[in-house]
Structure 1
């Protein structure tokens, strides 16, 4: 065997996250412990989203190993070539049930421990080759290190950035006055809109619909197009952004102003709102939804959906209809509704009237697959806990005339298998950053209260 080829041992959650993950390791060798196949087998019959991924992974493994003898499966079967004359690795199944308990090894009673023991055994028997356990389970990575495994990694092939600080914010802030850095500019005015054409070298890396602001209280613009030489910037003006209004709500800072501009723009189909707790993501989305459904009649209804670890499991034991079952998890939306109507004489009456008038529907993520949502304003809250494939499932439901708002806080991920770098929210921010029909805004600044602001910064 070639000492330069790495041996990657895959945990079950890798194949659930990406069923064809074993094909992503190019010329290196991949080992799937028998315990992983057992776990896939137990998951494939559950009535959950992951059962589909388990079945796809099992079929993909079977297609690769279908013509191999038992001896070949244990030794390693060549993986499909990625290109002409490209080196290719092998896929092997390792019978970890045959491993004996040795001094210092973890108890064989738990599946995670058997997979870790497999990795340590292969590391000891295949020296000097590098052996890497690949798992999305953070605790399992810690246990593996403690058990003596030298290399443990997360699955990074679908990771689009190396550090969360590089995540696109959706705007660029210039130091000082924007116009001082511009040497040449052509401007066109049509009605109330003015577009500036400036040299591409005078504006840093920019994307379609990226906002440009500076430290003065005057300039605000949005990139509407670019080529190799020039960038076109729509002049928005700070005052105009700060005077935006949706359902009686006005922006409290320039970041909310940019977000509200995107939320109220009918040409934008996807708005991604990121930022800390208390920065106004849910309130702005809901106010913009009510404004455009009730006042402007641009959409027929508001659909609110979100995912939490509990929802991903079941909502079956709560009484009532789907809307009533969802109510505990959608309290953030009803809280925001109360804020919007706290001045009303009869707040409960107002809430019921508005929920009926705006046709607000609470839906579970579990029931979104297979639907086609037409002419609706969709709010997907807390989507930092969703994987890229779950977000794809929801976004691909959106038909003609539908606008979707994805909001989340990457500091509040509850999933065992997601980090800020691998969250679906990070994934869509990066994938859609140069799509003409989408905008991302990082709502930088807590406006909930000075208590919330201090907690966000110091806890």
Structure 2
């Protein structure tokens, strides 16, 4: 694997599970797959877990590359792309190198240790080349650095922002009064809606369905179109936004009002709700679901699914049907339904009636693959624990007439390998912000209770 200008990237198993085709992200350099990684993929591919599919995809991708190669070529490296040998890196399988006990940094008992030892050996024999260990395991990165490996990195190819503070909030607040800043405006009315056509330089970088506020607490609008030389806003008005309700739920702040506006708009097919615990993400989504299914009849049913790391491992051991198995993890949804009907004379009777009337179905994320969901309101709760590829699998299930709501709190990630900037929730916020059929709202502020608000701010 010549060409000393190219780096050597050693991929850990979790990188290929996170992104099965990650090897193609390093086409200008050389990729090393340690034998230990293949062994771990082999053990994972037959498990009854969602991750086993990613292991099989990674194995097939490697097989496609090496299927015509002889043993020497596999060891020396096979071209990742056959189009241009001068600009294409190579991928090789590296057998575990057992160093003498005097030079061995870690024992060979653990797979992570064997991979780190292999990286240290390559660093020693490839002195003029940068050898980089790529792993999503934070502890492994610390161990490798502590053992003397110079270059250790997280897999960041699917990371669109460097700081979570840079994540789009779905709205922007302009200083002062909006109208004091407008020099030229052409307005028109269509039915009950008023639209303003402005110079795009007034709001640079605006994207479809982004909400625009100002400090007067009077003006509120939404970007509906941006063409060459023209930015078109729909005037919503703060008072009108705050007066809208869904299934009897009145917004408690302007952020909830913007969320309700997006949730009740049938032209917006994807709504992404982010924010701290207690800001009302699930409550607003369920209220909008009941409003659109029961009251307005726009959708035929409500499908609720939620991701937690334990589902894949534990759901099969619980008794009952799929929905009964899911109930422990979807208690937040039933709690929300109880809140929506707490003033009814018979809450239990109301819940049973609404569950049947709205055709509310609880589904496991694991069983969403392969489905085609039509004319449904789909709520994907707690999706901060999903990777970009997992979210893609779910989003591509949505057929004609389906609205998908993704909600999550990036401060409550349970996955071992995800951070706020690498979460699939962050990924879709950035990827879909220029899509005219999507809206994103960060629900700023905790409204659950005074206790919850204090805890969010001080703990």
TM-score band (shorter)? over 0.9
Corresponding residue for residue 428 of structure 1: 428
CA distance in 1, matches of 2:325, 2:146: 42
Structure 2 counterparts to residues 369-448 of structure 1, below 5 A: 369-448=369-448
User: CA offset at residue 367 of structure 1?
Assistant: 0.7
User: CA offset at residue 180 of structure 1?
Assistant: 1.4
1:339 aligns with 2:324: no
User: CA offset at residue 279 of structure 1?
Assistant: 0.6
CA distance in 2, matches of 1:86, 1:226: 42
SS of structure 1 residue aligned to 2:234: strand
Residues 85, 225 of structure 1: CA spacing in aligned structure 2 closer, same or farther, 3 A cutoff?
farther
SS of structure 2 residue aligned to 1:105: coil
User: CA offset at residue 3 of structure 1?
Assistant: 3.3
User: CA offset at residue 127 of structure 1?
Assistant: 1.1
Corresponding residue for residue 153 of structure 2: 153
CA distance in 1, matches of 2:64, 2:299: 46
Tell me whether 419-428 or 65-74 shows the greater mean CA deviation. 65-74
> TM-score, normalising length from structure 1?
0.97
Unmatched segments (≥5 aa) in structure 2: none
Corresponding residue for residue 307 of structure 1: 307
Structure 2 counterparts to residues 84-123 of structure 1, below 5 A: 87-96=87-96, 98-103=98-103, 105-123=105-123
Residues 179, 133 of structure 1: CA spacing in aligned structure 2 closer, same or farther, 3 A cutoff?
same
Corresponding residue for residue 136 of structure 1: 136
Corresponding residue for residue 244 of structure 2: 244
CA distance in 2, matches of 1:64, 1:340: 55
User: CA offset at residue 67 of structure 1?
Assistant: 2.8
Corresponding residue for residue 282 of structure 2: 282
> TM-score, normalising length from structure 2?
0.97
CA distance in 2, matches of 1:299, 1:67: 51
CA distance in 2, matches of 1:104, 1:450: 56
User: CA offset at residue 85 of structure 1?
Assistant: 6.8
After superposition, give the CA deviation of every residue in 1:349-380 in whole Å (9 maximum; x if it has no partner).
21112111111111000111111111111110
| 8 Å contact from structure 1 (residues 101, 108) kept in 2 | no
After superposition, give the CA deviation of every residue in 1:283-328 in whole Å (9 maximum; x if it has no partner).
0000011111111111111110011000132301111111111111
User: CA offset at residue 171 of structure 1?
Assistant: 0.7
Instruction: Give the RMSD, CA atoms, in angstroms.
Output: 1.5
SS of structure 1 residue aligned to 2:26: coil
CA distance in 2, matches of 1:425, 1:86: 38
User: CA offset at residue 86 of structure 1?
Assistant: 5.4
SS of structure 1 residue aligned to 2:303: strand
Corresponding residue for residue 179 of structure 2: 179
Corresponding residue for residue 20 of structure 2: 19
Corresponding residue for residue 44 of structure 2: 43
SS of structure 1 residue aligned to 2:377: strand
User: CA offset at residue 134 of structure 1?
Assistant: 0.5
Where in structure 1 do 4 or more consecutive aligned residues deviate above 6 Å? none
User: CA offset at residue 386 of structure 1?
Assistant: 0.7
1:126 aligns with 2:126: yes
CA distance in 1, matches of 2:397, 2:176: 43
After superposition, give the CA deviation of every residue in 1:41-60 in whole Å (9 maximum; x if it has no partner).
11112222222222221122
| 8 Å contact from structure 2 (residues 159, 421) kept in 1 | yes
User: CA offset at residue 159 of structure 1?
Assistant: 1.5
Corresponding residue for residue 77 of structure 1: 78
Corresponding residue for residue 256 of structure 1: 256
Residues 85, 69 of structure 1: CA spacing in aligned structure 2 closer, same or farther, 3 A cutoff?
closer
Corresponding residue for residue 298 of structure 1: 298
Tell me whether 122-131 or 262-271 shows the greater mean CA deviation. 122-131
After superposition, give the CA deviation of every residue in 1:244-263 in whole Å (9 maximum; x if it has no partner).
11111000010100000000
Residues 196, 86 of structure 1: CA spacing in aligned structure 2 closer, same or farther, 3 A cutoff?
farther
Corresponding residue for residue 226 of structure 2: 226
Corresponding residue for residue 3 of structure 2: 2
CA distance in 1, matches of 2:217, 2:20: 51
User: CA offset at residue 90 of structure 1?
Assistant: 1.5
CA distance in 2, matches of 1:41, 1:97: 20
CA distance in 2, matches of 1:17, 1:142: 20
User: CA offset at residue 268 of structure 1?
Assistant: 0.9
CA distance in 1, matches of 2:9, 2:85: 22
| 8 Å contact from structure 1 (residues 34, 97) kept in 2 | no
Corresponding residue for residue 31 of structure 1: 32
Tell me whether 186-195 or 447-456 shows the greater mean CA deviation. 447-456
